[in-house]
Amino acid sequence: MAKVDIELVQRVLRENGVDVRLSATILNQIREAAAEDVVEREKPAKKQHVVLVSEPEEGLPKDLVGWVVQILEDDDPREVAAKISEVAGTFNGSPKGQRLPVSSFGDACQSLPTKLLKERDVWIKTREPVRVLAVKNTLGRRRSS
């Protein structure tokens, strides 16, 4: 989208015989909208990371895999899987989705278009599943020599 100088808009309004009061009202609305746009662009939304773990039908195995996903800071992490499933349903209803449907959560994480996910405020950071390992939250004491 091209940016247009306010003075140019003012000149075009004047040349087309737009009433001075109406012209002033229009220009003020343009200035307010431009100011709001600048404020929106200045504040990037804060996000949080979530790890979604693949749980097979038999329950959790010892060797876990999952995907790292980013959502907005205020969003409920418990809803992210449902959002991805909804996007998958929307995608599967599209012409491309009918040709190449996603049939599992892993397929969805690997194949769904970023644009569709972003519309639902979901960003998949690892398209391929990554291993998830449990670690103890204590560190062994180191002996001094």
The first and second tokens of residue 117, run together, are 């996910």
User: Are both 21 and 87 inside the same structural domain?
Assistant: no
Digit-coded pLDDT (tens) for 6-35: 888 888 888 888 888 888 888 888 888 877
For residue 138, what pLDDT is reported?
81
Digit-coded pLDDT (tens) for 37-82: 766 666 677 898 888 887 777 766 677 889 999 999 999 999 999 9
Domain that residue 60 falls in: 47-132
CB count, 10 Å around CB of 144? 4
User: Are both 106 and 123 inside the same structural domain?
Assistant: yes
Please name the helix (run of DSSP H) or strand (run of DSSP E) that holds residue 71, with its range, or none.
Answer: strand 64-72
How many structural domains comprise the chain?
2
User: Are both 12 and 62 inside the same structural domain?
Assistant: no
63 occurs within a structural domain: yes
Supply angle C-alpha 16, 18, 20, rounded to 5.
135
